[in-house]
C-alpha cells in the first residue's frame, strides 16, 4: 500500500499513514531494531476499542507483534523508551512512553500558538491525553511488550509543541522519530532536546528516496520468497500477510520499478527546495571557506572619487564591508543613493612620463628596451577631458518599497553555491544541481535598476562627441620613427643653435609606400616573401612602411558625413510597441546564450541583505546595489518583432538566478532546458491561456507538449523552433501582470523567476536609420521610425519606462574620383579618446600596422552618468570586405595550416579573392560610434545643424584619418596573405623541428590582416615577445620576420627551436619524422593522432586488415558528445539498462577480470563501455570487424551493412516482431526484468509521437558508439546471436564514423595470380593403371580391368530400389542446455 500511496509525498499534500509507517519500519529493520528507543509501527499501536471499551491484545496478536518487532531476538527492557506515531484529527504527532519512569512525552501535537522553541509544559485544557485515547495507548503497548505498567492516572505527561504549517506534520513526525531512534530521548543533563526541524520539502525528498528503495527491495524479497520452498516453521511463513496484496498491486510495483511515476513529485520538490529562503541560508561560520569569484571586469563605482573624500564608516557599515569582502562576487556593491555627488576631474592617461610641452610628448616618446610580452604599444593622451563639477540635478527614480519583494528572501550568506544534499536528480546522467544552481539567490530590483544615467538631461554632451585631443601645430602625417629617418642626435646635449638639424645617417633602411612594395614584389615567391614577410628590399636593406606616401589629401568639402542609429537596446519591465508583439509559445533552445558578449549595457542589481539585517525589526535597511552587464544575467528569447526592415529580439532576463558556474567559474547565463520548460509550462502559457479570447484560444491555449508537437519539422519530425503568436499591447500587458501574480502567488515554486525584466535588442539597422549631416531636415530618428514603425519612441525615451540606449554612428566617406580607403591614425584617435574622458579600452592595429587601426573603450562611470554616453568605438569600414554576418572570426585553426590541408589553402584563396576582387572598385570610409541614452540622442539631433556640425568640421581638420587608394590597400593585403601562405607551404616542405611554433606565428599574421585576434595559445604569445613584436611594428611600421631564412636552419633563430608536447598536441602532429627520426621531445604521446594513417582513400581490404590487426591506428579516440546530455531521460535510462544486462550475459571466462564487469550508472559511463579501449581491456580475446555503412566509395565492398543507428532495432526490437524462441539468447531479455521488456512496457503508455521520440533518441545514442557486438536478430524460428564468437574471439563491429579516412578507393589492389598447388600423390585411376602394369598386366588388360570394375559398380547401383537409394540415417540430435 505504501507504493500505491507515494503520490501523497507531493508538496503541500497530507501523506498517507502507510507511507509514514513503511518509511519508519524500513529504518527500524535496517539496523535490526538496535536503536536508542524502541519503535512500534503505526497500525500495531492503535488501540482496539469496542463500544467505548478498550480491549487488550490477545495472546496470538502479542506473539505476532513480538516476532515482527524482534522482541524475541532482543529481550524487552523497560528502561528503553518506546516511541510511536499517532494520528488524531488528521494530524500526526509522536508519543514516547518511558515505563521505567512512568512518563509520557507528547511531541508536536499542537501546531499553532506555541513558542518557536519547544519547552516542556502541560495545559490541562488543551493537552489532555484523553482526547486522543492516550491511556488506551499506554495500556496496549505495555501489554504488547509484556510490561506491568502503572495506572494511566499516575503517569506524568509532558508536552513539547512547535509551530507547524499544517500539511507537513507527517514528514515532521517521521523526522522526530528518526532522531529519537538515532540519539535517544534524553540529551545532555538528562533533558529532552528536539533537533532543528528541516523544511518539509527536504523531508519529503528523503522519505521518497527511502520508501521507493525499500519498496524495490521488498518486491525483490517477495519474488524470491514466493518462489522458494521454505523450511517448516520459518518465521516468514508464520506472519505472511501477502494475502492482502492483490496481483495487480504486485504487478504495479514490478512494472514501475524504475520510479518514473515519481518524476513529477521529485521535480516539484526540487523546485520548491531551490526557492526556499530557509533552505538556502547556510551557516555563517562557513563563509570563510566559501570559494567565490570576483567580477574584476565590472565598472568601478569609486574610480573617480579621491581617497580623501571617502566618508567615515559607522559600526554597521564596517561590519557589512567586512562581510562583503568574504564574497568577492558582490564586493563592489555600493549604496549609490547615499553617495554625495562629486566632481569628475579630467584624466590625463599616459603610458610614459610626459614633459610640459605637448609636442614633445609625442615626438620624444621613449621606447621599452626589454619586451617581455608581445602586446602592442599605446599612445599618450596629452589633452585631459573637460572638468565636470558635482552633479546638482535629479539622479535616480524615487524609491518604491512595493516595486519588488525585498523581505523574507535569501540572504547574503547564502550566496555560496553548494549542492543541495537533499536534491534527488531524476536521472543519473543529469547535470547535478540544475535547480539548485538556478535558484533564487536573493537579488532584487530597485525602481531605478535600469538607469545607467542620471534623470536630468546630459551635461556637456558635445564635448564628448568627436573631441580633438592633439595640440595645435601637431603634424599628424609624421608617422615615421626618428630611428628610421635619422632625425635625432647622438650627442648627450644637442647644440643649442640648431638642435633639430643634427641627423644620423641611416643606410640599412629604405622607406617605401604600400604602392612601392607592390611594384617591388613580383609573382616570384622569393621576392614576394622578402617584401611582405621578411621586410627586405632588393639590396638587402630593411623596409620601413610609410602609408603617408600614398596619402590622398581631402578637404571637408570632399567628404560626406552621415549619421545613423546602428543598434538599439531597451531595458524595461513593461513592453510597449505600436504593433503586436509575437511571443514564443515554447522556449527557444540555443547552444549558447543569446547575449554572449558584453554590449556595454549595465543594470543595477540589489544584492541580498545580510542575516543580521533580516533578523532586525523594522524592515530592511541594507540597500547595496551592484552593476551587472546584461550578458551576465541568465536570459532567454521571449518574443520577436518582425517587419520589412528585419527582426528585433526580445529577451526575458531573470536576475534572481545570477551566479557563476561551479565548474568553469564563469557567469552562468544560458538557462537549462528543464528550467525554461518549467517557466513556460507553469507561468507563461497559463498566463496566455487566461487572456486568450474564444477566437484565438485554439491557436494559443496550448500545453508545452502540444507546442513541441506542432513545432516538428521534416519527414523525420525533428524538433523545430516553437511558434510565435502575436499579441496586442493590451493583451501583452495583461499577460505580463498575470505572470507576476503567478510568481508572487507561489514563491516556493516560482521565486527564481521573479523580478524578471525585458531587453529589446535591435542590431544592424544603420541602413534604415541613416541621414546626411549637412542636409537640413534630416534626422536618423525620423528615418528609424519610418523604417521600423513598430517602435514607440516617446514611450521608450521616457525614463520612467526603462532605459533606452542607441548607437549613434557617424560615418565619414570620401567623395572623390578615385576609390579610397580610410584608416584611423592611432595617435590622433588615442588623444581623442583621452580628451573625451574614455577609459583605456582596447586598441586594434590593422594588419599589424604600427600606427593605424581602431579603438574602443567605455567611459568612466560617473562621467557616463552625467553625459549619458557609455561607450565609443572607432574603426575602418574596410573591415566590411571580409566581415562575416555573425562578426566572429572565420579563419581556420592552426592545425589545418600545420597539415597544409585543403581547408587552409581554400581559406587563403578566398581571402585573396575578396581583397583582389570588386573591393578595389569601392570606397570605404571610417565610422565613429557612440552608445548613448535616448535623451542624449534627442539632444544631439537638436544640435545637429549647429554645434555638432561645427564639431565635425574641427575634427576633420585635425587629419585623424588617412585616405589611400582602394586598389593599393586591398592589393597590399592580398599580397601579404599570399606571401604568408607561400611561407607556410615552404615550411611544410622543410619540416623543421619547430614547425608548430612557426605555424602559430604565420597564422597569427594572417588573421591580423583583417582583425586583431586575441592570442590564446601560450607559444604564440611567447614567440611574439621573443620577436619583439611591438618594437618592430613601431620602428618599421609593419610587423616583419626580418631574420626568417628559408635556406638554412634555424629558419627563425629568435624563437624556440623545437615544438614541445603542448604545441604538438595543438597541431595534432605526427610523432615521428618520415625518415623514422623521432620528433622532439623523444617521448610518446598517447593522445596524438594522425589524420590519415593509412591514407585518405585506402582499399577495403587494407582497411579491413588494419581494423582487425590495429584498430586504434585507424579510429579516432572517443570523447563524450554534449548532444547526448539533452536527450530524453527515458532513452538514457534504457540504454544504461541495456548495457548492464548485455555485459551480464557474457560468460565470465571471456572477461579479463569478472569482478570488473562493466556496470554503468550514467549515460556517459554506458556509452564509454562500448569504446575501443574499454572493450579491448575488458574482453579476454576480441576481434574487430569493419562496417561499410555510410562510407564514401563503399560500393563493391560486399553486402551493404546497417549503420549503427539502424542497429538500434536489433537490440531494441518492437513488440510486433514477436518473442524469439526459448533457445534464443534474446529470449531472456523479453521477460522481466529484461531491458527489452522494460522497453516495451514503457512504450505502451506513450503516444505515437512520444514513441518516435524515444526511438530517435536511442538511435542517436547508437550512432555515437565506437563498437557494438556483431549481433543478429532473433525470431520464433531463428535464435539469433547477441555475442558471436569466431576463431576463439568475441566479434565486435566498429563504427565507420570514427574511421580516419575520407572514403574507400575504387581501384582494387593488385592480387598475385593464384598458383596451382603441386600434388605429391597421383590420381586414383593413374595409380590403379600403374599397379596393374607393375603386376605384369599389359596396358590393354589394365584398361579393361578398370572398365569392368566401373561397370560392376554401376550395375550394383541400378539393382537398388528407389527407397534404398534415398534412405539416409539422420545424425543423432544433441540437446544443448544454454
| Residue-wise pLDDT tens digits, 289-300 | 344 344 444 455
> 780 φ, ψ to 5°?
-65, -25
Residue 751 pLDDT exceeds 70: yes
Compute the average pLDDT of residues 1036-1052.
88
Q: Give CA 381 to chain center in angstroms.
A: 42
Compute the average pLDDT of residues 131-158.
88
Compute the average pLDDT of residues 899-926.
88
Structure confidence by residue, pLDDT tens digits, 1269-1308? 999 988 878 888 999 998 888 999 999 999 888 888 876 5
Residue 552 pLDDT exceeds 80: yes
Residue 480 pLDDT exceeds 80: no
* Model confidence pTM above 0.85: no
State the pLDDT confidence band at 189, using cuts at 50, 70 and 90.
low
pLDDT score recorded for residue 342: 67
Strands 635-643 and 646-653: antiparallel
Maximum Cα interatomic distance, the chain, rounded to a whole number of Å = 142
Q: Which of 341-355, 637-651, 732-746 has the highest mean pLDDT?
A: 732-746
* CA gap 8, 12 in Å, rounded: 9
Residue 775 pLDDT exceeds 60: no
State the pLDDT confidence band at 347, using cuts at 50, 70 and 90.
very low
pLDDT score recorded for residue 161: 84
Candidates 362, 69, 67, 119; CA nearest to 238 is 67
The continuous run of DSSP H or E covering 527 comes out as helix 525-529
Q: Among 325-339, 505-519, 824-838, 1162-1176, where is mean pLDDT lowest?
A: 325-339
CA atoms within 13 A on the CB side of 615: 6
pLDDT score recorded for residue 1212: 92
Compute the average pLDDT of residues 803-816.
92
Mean pLDDT (the chain) is: 80
pLDDT score recorded for residue 1374: 53
pLDDT score recorded for residue 390: 86
Residue 1309 pLDDT exceeds 60: no
* CA gap 705, 677 in Å, rounded: 10
pLDDT score recorded for residue 348: 45
Q: How many CB atoms lie within 10 A of CB 1127?
A: 20
DSSP state of 627: E
State the pLDDT confidence band at 288, using cuts at 50, 70 and 90.
very low
**Contact between 48 and 140 (Cβ < 8 Å):** yes
First to last CA, the chain: 39
* CA gap 1107, 251 in Å, rounded: 47
Q: How far is CA 72 from CA 233, 238, 273, in A?
A: 15, 14, 43
Q: In what order do the strands lie in the sheet with 156-160?
A: 38-39, 82-87, 92-98, 103-107, 156-160
Q: Which of 197-201, 315-319, 417-421 has the highest mean pLDDT?
A: 197-201
* CA gap 890, 1247 in Å, rounded: 44
pLDDT score recorded for residue 281: 54
Strands (DSSP E) along 68-181, which ranges?
Answer: 82-87, 92-98, 103-107, 156-160
pLDDT score recorded for residue 1002: 92
Report which of residues 293 and 487 the model is more confident about: 487
pLDDT score recorded for residue 314: 66
pLDDT score recorded for residue 254: 56
Compute the average pLDDT of residues 1152-1172.
87
- Count Cβ neighbours within 10 Å for each residue of 1328-1361 and write b for 16 or more, e otherwise: ebeebeeeeeeeeebeeeeeeeeeeeeeeeeeee
* CA gap 986, 530 in Å, rounded: 13
Structure confidence by residue, pLDDT tens digits, 303-337? 455 444 455 666 667 777 777 766 666 777 777 76
SS3 state at 1150: helix
DSSP state of 657: G
Compute the average pLDDT of residues 1220-1242.
88
pLDDT score recorded for residue 213: 77
State the pLDDT confidence band at 698, using cuts at 50, 70 and 90.
confident
Structure confidence by residue, pLDDT tens digits, 1009-1023? 887 777 778 888 888
Q: What share of the chain is helix, strand, coil (3-state, %, to 5)?
A: 40, 15, 45
* CA gap 1196, 1137 in Å, rounded: 38
Compute the average pLDDT of residues 870-892.
82
Quick one: CA dihedral 92, 94, 97, 101, positive or negative?
negative
Residue 3 pLDDT exceeds 60: yes
Compute the average pLDDT of residues 900-909.
86
Residue 429 pLDDT exceeds 50: no
pLDDT score recorded for residue 1170: 92
* CA gap 405, 277 in Å, rounded: 13
Query: Cell 522526530 maps to which residue?
Result: 176
Structure confidence by residue, pLDDT tens digits, 440-475? 888 999 999 999 999 989 998 888 999 998 888 787
> 750 φ, ψ to 5°?
-120, 15
Task: Say what percent of the chain tops pLDDT 90.
Answer: 22
State the pLDDT confidence band at 603, using cuts at 50, 70 and 90.
very high
pLDDT score recorded for residue 294: 43
Strands 581-584 and 444-445: unpaired
Residue 1077 pLDDT exceeds 60: no
Q: Among 542-546, 1131-1135, 1167-1171, 1332-1336, where is mean pLDDT lowest?
A: 1332-1336
Residue 1157 pLDDT exceeds 80: yes
Cis omega (within 30 of 0) for bond into 947: no
Amino acid at each position: 500500500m505504501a507504493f500505491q500511496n507515494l503520490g501523497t509525498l507531493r508538496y503541500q499534500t497530507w501523506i498517507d499513514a502507510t507511507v509514514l509507517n513503511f518509511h519508519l519500519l524500513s529504518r527500524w529493520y535496517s539496523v535490526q531494531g538496535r536503536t536508542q528507543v524502541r519503535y512500534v509501527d503505526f497500525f500495531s499501536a492503535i488501540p482496539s476499542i469496542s463500544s467505548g471499551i478498550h480491549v487488550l491484545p490477545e495472546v496470538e496478536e502479542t506473539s505476532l507483534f513480538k516476532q515482527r518487532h524482534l522482541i524475541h531476538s532482543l529481550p524487552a527492557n523497560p528502561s528503553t523508551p518506546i516511541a510511536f506515531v499517532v494520528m488524531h484529527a488528521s494530524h500526526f504527532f509522536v508519543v514516547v512512553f518511558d515505563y521505567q519512569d512512568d512518563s509520557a512525552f507528547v511531541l508536536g501535537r499542537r501546531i499553532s500558538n506555541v513558542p518557536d522553541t519547544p519547552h516542556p509544559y502541560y495545559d490541562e485544557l488543551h493537552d489532555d491525553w484523553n482526547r486522543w485515547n492516550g491511556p488506551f495507548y499506554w495500556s496496549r503497548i505495555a501489554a504488547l511488550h509484556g510490561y506491568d505498567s502503572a495506572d494511566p492516572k499516575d503517569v506524568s505527561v509532558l508536552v513539547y509543541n512547535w509551530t507547524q504549517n499544517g500539511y507537513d506534520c507527517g514528514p515532521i513526525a517521521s523526522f522526530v522519530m528518526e532522531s529519537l531512534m538515532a540519539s535517544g530521548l534524553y540529551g545532555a543533563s538528562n533533558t529532552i532536546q528536539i533537533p532543528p526541524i528541516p523544511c518539509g520539502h527536504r523531508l519529503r525528498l528523503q522519505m521518497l528516496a527511502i520508501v521507493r528503495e525499500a519498496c524495490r527491495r521488498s518486491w525483490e524479497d517477495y519474488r524470491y520468497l514466493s518462489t522458494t520452498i521454505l523450511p517448516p516453521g520459518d518465521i516468514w511463513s508464520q506472519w505472511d500477510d501477502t494475502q492482502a496484496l492483490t496481483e495487480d498491486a504486485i504487478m504495479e510495483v514490478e512494472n514501475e520499478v524504475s520510479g518514473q511515476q515519481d518524476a513529477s513529485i521529485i521535480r516539484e520538490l526540487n523546485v520548491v527546495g531551490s526557492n526556499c529562503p530557509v533552505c538556502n541560508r547556510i551557516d555563517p561560520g562557513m563563509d570563510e571557506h566559501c570559494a567565490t569569484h570576483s567580477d574584476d571586469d565590472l565598472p568601478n563605482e569609486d574610480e573617480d572619487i579621491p581617497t580623501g573624500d571617502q566618508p567615515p564608516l559607522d559600526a554597521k557599515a564596517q561590519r557589512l564591508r567586512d562581510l562583503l569582502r568574504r564574497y568577492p562576487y558582490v564586493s563592489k556593491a555600493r549604496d549609490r543613493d547615499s553617495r554625495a555627488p562629486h566632481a569628475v576631474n579630467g584624466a590625463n592617461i599616459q603610458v610614459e612620463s610626459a614633459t610640459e610641452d605637448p609636442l614633445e610628448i609625442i615626438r620624444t616618446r621613449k621606447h621599452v628596451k626589454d619586451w617581455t610580452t608581445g602586446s602592442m604599444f599605446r599612445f599618450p593622451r596629452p589633452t585631459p577631458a573637460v572638468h565636470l563639477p558635482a552633479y546638482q540635478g535629479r539622479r535616480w527614480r524615487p524609491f518604491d518599497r512595493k516595486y519588488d519583494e525585498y523581505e523574507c528572501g535569501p540572504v547574503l550568506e547564502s550566496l555560496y553555491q553548494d549542492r543541495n544534499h537533499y536534491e534527488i536528480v531524476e536521472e543519473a546522467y543529469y547535470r547535478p544541481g540544475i535547480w539548485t544552481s538556478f535558484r533564487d539567490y536573493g537579488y532584487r530590483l530597485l525602481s531605478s535598476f535600469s538607469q545607467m544615467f542620471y534623470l536630468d538631461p546630459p551635461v556637456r554632451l558635445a564635448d564628448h562627441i568627436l573631441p580633438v585631443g592633439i595640440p595645435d601645430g601637431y603634424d599628424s602625417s609624421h608617422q615615421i620613427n626618428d630611428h628610421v629617418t635619422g632625425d635625432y642626435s647622438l650627442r648627450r646635449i644637442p647644440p643649442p643653435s640648431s638642435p633639430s638639424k643634427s641627423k644620423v645617417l641611416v643606410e640599412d633602411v629604405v622607406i617605401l609606400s604600400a604602392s612601392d612594395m607592390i611594384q617591388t614584389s613580383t609573382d616570384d615567391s622569393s621576392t614576394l616573401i622578402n617584401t611582405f614577410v621578411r621586410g627586405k628590399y632588393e639590396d638587402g636593406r630593411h623596409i620601413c612602411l610609410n602609408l603617408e606616401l600614398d596619402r590622398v589629401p581631402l578637404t571637408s568639402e570632399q567628404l560626406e558625413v552621415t549619421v545613423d542609429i546602428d543598434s538599439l537596446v531597451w531595458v524595461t519591465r513593461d513592453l510597449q510597441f505600436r504593433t503586436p508583439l509575437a511571443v514564443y509559445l515554447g522556449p527557444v533552445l540555443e547552444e549558447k546564450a543569446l547575449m554572449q558578449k558584453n554590449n556595454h549595457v549595465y543594470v543595477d542589481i540589489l544584492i541580498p541583505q545580510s542575516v543580521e539585517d533580516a533578523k532586525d525589526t523594522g524592515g530592511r535597511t541594507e540597500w547595496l546595489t551592484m552593476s551587472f552587464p546584461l550578458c551576465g544575467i541568465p536570459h532567454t528569447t521571449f518574443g520577436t518583432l518582425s517587419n520589412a526592415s528585419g527582426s528585433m529580439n526580445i529577451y526575458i532576463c531573470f536576475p534572481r538566478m545570477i551566479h557563476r558556474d561551479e565548474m568553469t567559474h564563469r557567469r552562468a547565463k544560458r538557462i537549462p532546458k528543464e528550467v525554461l520548460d518549467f517557466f513556460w509550462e507553469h507561468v507563461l502559457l497559463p498566463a496566455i491561456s487566461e487572456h486568450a479570447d474564444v477566437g484565438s484560444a485554439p491557436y494559443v491555449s496550448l500545453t508545452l507538449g502540444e507546442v513541441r508537437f506542432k513545432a516538428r519539422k521534416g519527414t523525420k519530425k525533428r524538433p523545430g523552433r516553437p511558434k510565435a503568436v502575436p499579441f496586442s499591447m493590451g493583451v501583452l500587458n495583461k499577460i505580463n501582470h498575470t505572470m507576476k501574480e503567478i510568481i508572487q502567488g507561489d514563491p516556493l515554486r516560482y521565486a527564481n523567476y521573479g523580478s524578471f525584466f525585458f531587453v529589446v535588442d535591435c542590431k544592424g539597422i544603420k541602413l534604415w536609420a541613416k541621414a546626411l549631416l549637412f542636409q537640413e531636415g534630416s534626422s536618423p530618428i525620423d528615418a528609424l521610425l519610418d523604417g521600423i514603425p513598430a517602435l514607440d519612441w516617446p514611450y521608450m525615451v521616457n525614463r520612467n519606462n526603462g532605459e533606452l540606449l542607441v548607437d549613434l554612428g557617424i560615418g565619414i566617406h570620401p567623395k572623390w574620383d578615385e576609390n579610397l580607403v580610410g584608416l584611423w591614425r592611432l595617435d590622433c584617435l588615442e588623444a581623442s579618446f583621452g580628451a573625451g574622458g574614455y577609459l583605456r579600452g582596447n586598441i586594434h592595429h590593422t594588419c599589424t600596422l604600427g600606427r593605424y587601426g581602431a579603438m574602443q573603450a567605455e567611459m568612466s562611470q560617473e562621467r557616463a552618468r552625467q553625459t549619458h554616453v557609455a561607450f565609443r568605438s572607432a574603426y575602418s569600414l574596410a573591415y566590411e570586405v571580409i566581415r562575416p554576418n555573425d562578426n566572429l572570426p572565420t579563419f581556420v585553426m592552426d592545425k589545418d595550416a600545420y597539415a597544409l590541408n585543403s581547408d587552409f589553402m581554400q581559406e587563403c584563396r578566398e581571402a585573396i579573392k575578396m581583397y583582389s576582387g570588386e573591393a578595389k572598385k569601392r570606397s570605404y570610409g571610417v565610422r565613429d560610434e557612440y552608445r548613448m541614452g535616448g535623451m542624449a540622442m534627442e539632444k544631439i539631433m537638436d544640435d545637429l545643424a549647429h554645434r555638432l556640425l561645427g564639431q565635425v568640421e574641427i575634427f576633420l581638420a585635425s587629419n585623424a584619418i588617412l585616405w589611400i587608394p582602394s586598389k593599393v590597400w586591398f592589393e597590399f593585403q592580398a599580397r601579404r596573405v599570399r606571401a604568408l601562405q607561400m611561407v607556410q607551404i615552404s615550411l611544410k616542405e622543410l619540416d623543421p623541428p619547430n614547425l608548430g611554433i612557426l605555424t602559430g606565428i604565420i597564422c597569427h599574421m594572417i588573421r591580423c590582416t583583417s582583425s586583431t585576434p586575441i592570442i590564446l595559445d601560450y607559444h604564440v604569445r611567447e614567440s611574439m615577445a621573443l620577436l619583439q613584436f611591438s618594437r618592430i611594428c613601431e620602428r618599421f611600421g609593419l610587423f616583419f620576420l626580418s631574420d626568417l631564412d628559408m635556406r638554412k636552419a634555424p629558419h627563425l633563430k629568435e624563437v624556440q627551436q623545437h615544438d614541445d608536447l603542448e604545441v604538438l598536441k595543438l597541431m595534432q602532429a605526427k610523432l615521428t619524422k618520415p625518415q623514422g627520426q623521432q620528433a622532439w621531445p623523444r617521448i610518446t604521446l598517447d593522445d596524438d593522432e594522425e589524420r590519415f594513417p593509412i591514407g585518405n582513400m585506402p582499399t577495403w581490404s587494407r582497411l579491413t586488415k588494419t581494423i582487425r590487426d590495429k584498430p586504434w591506428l585507424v579510429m579516432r579516440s572517443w570523447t563524450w558528445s554534449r548532444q547526448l546530455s539533452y536527450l530524453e531521460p527515458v532513452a538514457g535510462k534504457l540504454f544504461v539498462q541495456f548495457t548492464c544486462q548485455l555485459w551480464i550475459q557474457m560468460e565470465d571466462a571471456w572477461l579479463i577480470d569478472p569482478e570488473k564487469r562493466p556496470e554503468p550508472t550514467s549515460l556517459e559511463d554506458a556509452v564509454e563501455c562500448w569504446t575501443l579501449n574499454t572493450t579491448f581491456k575488458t574482453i579476454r580475446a576480441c576481434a574487430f570487424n569493419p562496417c561499410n555503412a555510410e562510407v564514401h566509395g563503399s560500393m563493391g565492398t560486399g553486402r551493404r551493412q546497417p549503420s549503427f543507428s539502424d542497429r538500434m532495432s536489433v537490440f531494441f526490437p518492437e513488440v510486433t516482431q514477436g518473442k524469439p524462441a526459448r533457445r534464443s539468447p534474446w529470449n531472456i531479455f523479453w521477460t522481466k526484468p529484461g531491458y527489452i521488456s522494460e522497453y516495451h512496457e514503457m512504450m505502451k503508455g506513450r503516444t505515437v509521437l512520444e514513441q518516435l521520440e524515444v526511438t530517435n533518441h536511442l538511435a542517436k545514442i547508437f550512432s555515437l558508439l565506437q563498437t557494438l557486438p556483431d549481433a543478429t536478430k532473433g525470431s520464433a524460428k531463428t535464435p539469433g546471436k547477441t555475442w558471436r564468437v569466431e576463431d576463439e574471439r568475441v566479434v565486435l563491429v566498429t563504427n565507420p564514423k570514427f574511421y580516419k579516412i575520407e572514403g574507400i578507393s575504387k581501384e582494387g589492389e593488385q592480387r598475385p595470380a593464384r598458383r596451382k598447388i603441386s600434388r605429391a600423390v597421383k590420381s586414383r585411376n593413374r595409380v590403379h593403371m600403374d599397379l596393374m602394369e607393375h603386376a605384369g598386366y599389359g596396358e590393354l588388360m589394365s584398361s579393361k580391368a578398370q572398365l569392368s570394375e566401373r561397370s560392376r559398380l554401376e550395375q550394383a547401383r541400378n539393382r537398388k530400389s528407389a527407397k534404398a537409394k534415398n534412405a539416409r540415417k539422420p545424425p543423432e540430435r544433441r540437446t544443448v542446455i544454454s
